[in-house]
Structure 1
Amino acid sequence: MRFDQIVRGRSADFLSPKASRPIPHACGIVRDALVQATLDPEILEIDFIGTAGTEARPIDIQVITFRTIAGWRYLDIEVARPLRSLGDADAFDRELRARGLAPYTLKGADILKEPRFSTARAIWTYRRFSVAPDMRHRLLVALAEDGPTSLHHLCSSVPGPLDPFASVLSLACRNEVEIDISTPLSPSTTVSSRS
C-alpha cells in the first residue's frame, strides 16, 4: 500500500498549534514525528502539500512540511517513504526543488531515540488538559520573571487550585511554553517561555 493511500484511508488528522489546518498523516512513526515537531522550538510551523502541478497534469506530492529557522523543508522519514515510479519520483523532486524545499530527513531510530521519544509522548498525553485562564497567566508571568527554570520550581511557585504540572505540560502542547524533551521528564526538566 502506498503512503498516500494510507494517508487517505486510515489516518486521523493531526492537530498542532503550529499548523493552520489539520495535517493528514499515516499514524505510527509519522504521528510521533509530528508530536516531537510540535514540541521542538526549532520547528516554527507545520504544513502539508497534497497535490501540485496543473489541473491537466497534477503531481501527487503528499508531504508534511516544516518551517525551521533555516526555512521550509519537507519531512522525509526513511522508513515511511512512498514507493514512486521513476517518472513520479522525478516530478516529485522537481516540484519540491522548485518550491525551494530541501528534505528534513529522519531515520526511524531518530524518532524512537530515548529519552526524547518517551518524553514527547508523556507530555502529549496532556494536550487536552484544560488550563484555566488565571493559571495560564500565573505560569506565563512566573516564566517571564524567572526565565528558564525547572519544572519543579515553576510548579512550586504557582500552586493550584489546578494541577500546575498538568497545566505546564498542556501549555507546552499548545506551543505557549518550551519544555526540554531531550531529557527524561522529571522535576528537573527545564521549562522556558516561548521567544
Structure 2
Amino acid sequence: MAGAAGGVGPRSTPAAPPSGRRDAEASKAAIVRAARHLLARHAHGDITLKAVAERAGVSAPLILKYFGNKDALFSQVMSFEADAEGFLDAPVGDLGRHMVHQLLTGQAERGADPILRIVFAPLHGAQGDILRANFRAQVAQRLGARLSGPDAGLRAELAVGMLLGLGVMYGIARGPHLRAAELTEITDRYAPAVQAFLTPG
C-alpha cells in the first residue's frame, strides 16, 4: 500500500466537463451573441427566433429548449449585468483606462462592446425602456456608487457618455482615422479625459 505509506493517495486530475455540456454552453453563447447582434440592427418586434437561430447556426426549437421563449431570451440580452462585471473590474484610479480598453478591444476583436447596445434603445419601443432602466442601474449607477466626492452620479454619467461617444465613432460611424490608429494610442489619448470625471483633481 504505497499510497498509504506516503500518506497521500494517487492524484486525480479534474474531469473535463462532458462534451454535451460544453456543446450546450457553446450553443447558448452563440444564441445570445446572435440575439445581441440583431438587437443592435433591428427593432425588437421585427426579430424572429428563426432569424436568431439562423445567425447562431442552431435550430429555433433549440432556442425554445434553452430559453423558453423569445422574451426570456431577450431579457438576458437586455441585461448589462454580466458585461458590467468585467467593464468595471478595476480600481477606481485605473478605471478610465480599463473601460476604454474594454470598449475598444470588444469592438475590434469581437465586433461588440459591453455597453453600446443602449444606443439602439429607441428602436425597441417598450423593450427600449427596459434596456434604458437596466443600463442606468447596472452601468451608470453602479459606477457612480464606486466614486467618492461631490456629484458622483453626474460624473459617472459624464464618463459613460464619453465612452458611448467613442464606441459610436469607432463601431458605428467607423471613423477611418480612429480605426487606423493603434488601440493603445487611442487609449492613451482618451482614457485621461474619462478618468478626470472619476477622480477629479
TM-score range, shorter chain: under 0.3
> Which protein is richer in helix relative to its size?
2
TM-score (norm 2): 0.23
TM-score (norm 1): 0.23
> Which protein is richer in strand relative to its size?
1
Which is greater in Rg?
Answer: 2
